[in-house]
């Protein structure tokens, strides 16, 4: 079993920081009639959906047996951090329970507990509910992980979907925080992240479940799950974009266009919607619009340090050392707190024969890592 890490972070997360708000949309607003038709589900269902058809799953309550599990596995310790650690160990490392990580299935937390298998969404729902039952100040934390850059960079003629990453946060009385993440290898404290409400967390659950249903060919059920997500959090561009993907897969280009446009009304720099809408326009033969969005998408990518890091890694694999050096230096200039950037730069200096500089860079990278504690 791969160990999942619990670690102690002495800084407040970025969720409390002020932000200037999303940029303006780069495309025209959607046709209101087409958008309304897409939201009704009529093109996919053959009729408008009924509210009673929307899924309603129990995401936040614990059964009595789950409450007892949390109590019995933390009753021997005192202190907030110790309780968080004991709960984490009981859920993931216990020989009696030991939840296994499985990324491709989003289960309600109760079923995840019973089946002993979870992805980041299911585990976070379960951990936060148990932590709150124990009196800990726990909340949901959404993390913008950059791993998908490797998949997106060569995307030229199709769509992709976006699944969000979340973890749990326990706020301690000394204003430090405990981060509990099922996918520690994907997480870094320098990633953009923010606390989210239970409604937003539920929307994320229904969104992810919808995408799983879509890949199974269950189009109508996928629509109902996405429609449920939008009733909970219509201010999430990725939900609109994923609903557009569902319509495009079903052959409804006009509805997909309207939904992508709506996603960009919600957040004008949403790269998923920009890229997918550009791909749709290419499919429709609207080359000028497609080229405009492709250029815009590339500008957004070049502004992201993790995309620059991806380019550097590709050049490194091809032994294009000078180009790799230029990309990683640009990445460091945009995000100087990311240890992986310095590790890659150290590899380049090692290749150049400058072992002393490489060692210094590796030491600096190590100094940027958070302190881990099981």
Residue 128 has pLDDT above 90, yes or no: yes
Tell me the pLDDT band of 13, cut-offs 50, 70 and 90.
very low
Question: What pTM does this model have?
Answer: 0.84
Lowest mean per-residue pLDDT among 140-149, 158-167, 313-322: 158-167
Q: Can you give the pLDDT at residue 95?
A: 60
Cα–Cα distance measured from residue 22 to residue 20, given in angstroms and rounded to the nearest whole number: 7
Output the pLDDT for position 97: 74
Give pLDDT, residue 192.
Answer: 83
Q: What are phi and psi of 330, to 5 degrees?
A: -65, -40
Q: Are 120 and 208 in contact (CB under 8 A)?
A: no
- Residue 262 CA to residue 247 CA, distance in Å, equals 14
Length of the chain: 374
Nearby residues of 46 by Cβ (< 8 Å), 6 or more positions away: none
Q: What percent of the chain has pLDDT over 90?
A: 69
Q: Is the pLDDT of residue 368 over 70?
A: yes
Domain 305-369: CATH class, spelled out: mainly alpha
pLDDT reported for residue 3: 30
CB count in 10 Å sphere of residue 121: 28
Confidence of residue 163 (pLDDT cuts 50, 70, 90): low
The CATH architecture one would assign to domain 9-13+57-302 is Alpha Horseshoe (1.25)
Tell me: pLDDT of 151 over 90: no
Structure tokens at 47: 């009729």
Q: Which two tokens stand for residue 110?
A: 């109760």
- Residue 161 pLDDT class (50, 70, 90 cuts): low
Fold agreement between 9-13+57-302 and 305-369: yes
For 17-45, give the DSSP string: S----PPPPSSPPPPHHHHHHHHHTHHHH
- Domain residues of the chain, as ranges? 9-13+57-302, 305-369
Reduce the DSSP state of residue 117 to 3 states and report it.
strand
The 3-state DSSP class for residue 312 equals helix
pLDDT of residue 98: 83
Is the pLDDT score of 125 beyond 80?
yes
Residue 146 contacts residue 304 (beta carbons within 8 Å)? yes
Residues 4 and 260: their CA atoms lie apart, in Å, by 36
- Closest by Cα among 369, 327, 368 to 348: 327
Name the E strands within 157-265: 165-171, 177-180, 193-196
Residue holding tokens 């990324």?
103
Q: What is the pLDDT of residue 7?
A: 40
Residue 302, φ and ψ in degrees, nearest 5: -65, -20
The pLDDT assigned to 137 comes to 96
Stretch among 23-27, 157-161, 249-253 having the lowest mean pLDDT: 157-161
pLDDT at 371 over 60: no
The pLDDT tens digits of the residues spanning 326-367 come to 999 999 999 998 888 999 999 999 999 999 999 999 999 988
Q: What is the pLDDT of residue 130?
A: 97
Residues 200-211 have pLDDT tens digits of: 999 999 999 999
The answer to whether residues 255 and 34 touch, using CB atoms and an 8 Å cutoff, is yes
Q: Average of pLDDT values for 122-139? A: 97
- What does the alpha-carbon distance between residue 254 and residue 34 come to, in Å, rounded to a whole number? 7
* CA distances in angstroms from 211 to 44, 256, 277, 349, listed in the order given: 15, 15, 18, 43
Task: State how far the Cα of 123 lies from the Cα of 222, in Å rounded to an integer.
Answer: 22
The pLDDT value recorded for residue 96 is 65
């Amino acid at each position: 079993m791969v160990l999942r890490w619990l670690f102690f972070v002495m800084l407040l997360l970025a969720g409390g920081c002020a932000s200037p708000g999303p940029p303006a949309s780069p495309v025209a607003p959607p046709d209101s009639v087409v958008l309304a038709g897409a939201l009704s589900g009529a093109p996919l269902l053959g009729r408008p959906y009924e509210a009673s058809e929307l899924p309603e799953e129990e995401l936040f309550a614990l059964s009595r047996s789950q409450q007892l599990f949390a109590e019995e596995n933390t009753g021997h310790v005192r202190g907030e951090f110790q309780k968080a650690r004991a709960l984490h160990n009981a859920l993931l490392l216990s020989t009696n329970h030991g939840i296994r990580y499985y990324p491709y299935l989003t289960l309600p937390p109760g079923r995840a507990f019973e089946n002993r298998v979870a992805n980041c969404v299911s585990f976070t729902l379960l951990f936060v509910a148990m932590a709150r039952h124990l009196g800990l100040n726990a909340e949901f934390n959404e993390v913008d992980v950059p791993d998908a850059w490797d998949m997106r960079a060569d995307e030229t003629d199709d769509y992709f979907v976006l699944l969000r990453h979340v973890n749990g946060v326990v706020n301690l009385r000394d204003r430090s925080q405990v981060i509990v993440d099922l996918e520690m290898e994907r997480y870094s404290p320098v990633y953009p992240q923010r606390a989210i409400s239970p409604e937003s967390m539920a929307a994320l659950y229904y969104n992810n479940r919808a995408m799983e249903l879509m890949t199974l060919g269950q189009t109508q059920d996928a629509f109902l799950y996405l429609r449920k997500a939008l009733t909970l959090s219509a201010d999430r561009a990725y939900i609109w974009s994923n609903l557009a993907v569902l319509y495009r897969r079903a052959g409804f280009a006009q509805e997909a266009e309207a939904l992508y446009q709506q996603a960009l009304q919600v957040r004008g720099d949403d790269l998923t919607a920009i890229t997918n809408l550009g791909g749709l326009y290419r499919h429709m033969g609207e080359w000028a619009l497609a080229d405009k969005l492709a250029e815009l998408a590339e500008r957004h990518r070049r502004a992201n340090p993790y995309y620059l890091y991806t380019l550097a890694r590709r050049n490194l694999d091809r032994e294009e050392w000078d180009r790799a050096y230029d990309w990683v230096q640009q990445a460091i200039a945009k995000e100087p707190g990311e240890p992986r950037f310095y590790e890659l730069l150290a590899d380049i200096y090692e290749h150049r024969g400058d072992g002393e500089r490489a060692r210094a860079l590796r030491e600096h990278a190590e100094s940027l890592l958070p302190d881990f504690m099981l």
